[in-house]
Amino acid sequence: MSPHKPWMCTLLLAFNYVYRPNMSGKYIIGSLLGTCVVAYVVDHFIADKKIFGGTTPGTVSNKEWWEATDKKFQAWPRTAGPPVVMNPISRQNFIVKSSIDS
C-alpha cells in the first residue's frame, strides 16, 4: 500500500467489512436502526430546532391562512368536464356502445 493513497486503504477496509460472508443479521438490523435514529435526530435539530437559524413561514404555521386558501380554491368555478373515474374497469360504470346503436 502506498502512503500517498490513504483513501485506498480506507476503501479496502470498508469493502472487506461490507462483504464479509459471516455478516450476521443482528449487525445489519442494528446498523439500519442506528441510521434511522441518527437521521431522526439530525432532522429534528435542523428542521424543528432551527440550529442554523430561520423561521417557519406563516403560510405553513398559520391555520387561518390554510383555511382561507382552501376556501379560495373551492370557490373557483369548474371549467373542465365532469369528474373522471380513474379506473373504470374496477368500477364497472362505463357504457359500451355497440355498432348497431350508431
> From CA 29, how far away is CA 23, in angstroms rounded?
11
> For residues 56 and 43, what is the distance between their CA atoms, to the nearest angstrom?
15
The domain ranges of the chain are 28-71
* Residue scoring higher pLDDT (68 or 78): 68
Query: Which residue reads 383555511 in cell numbers?
Result: 67
40-67 pLDDT, tens digit each: 999 999 988 999 988 888 888 889 998 9
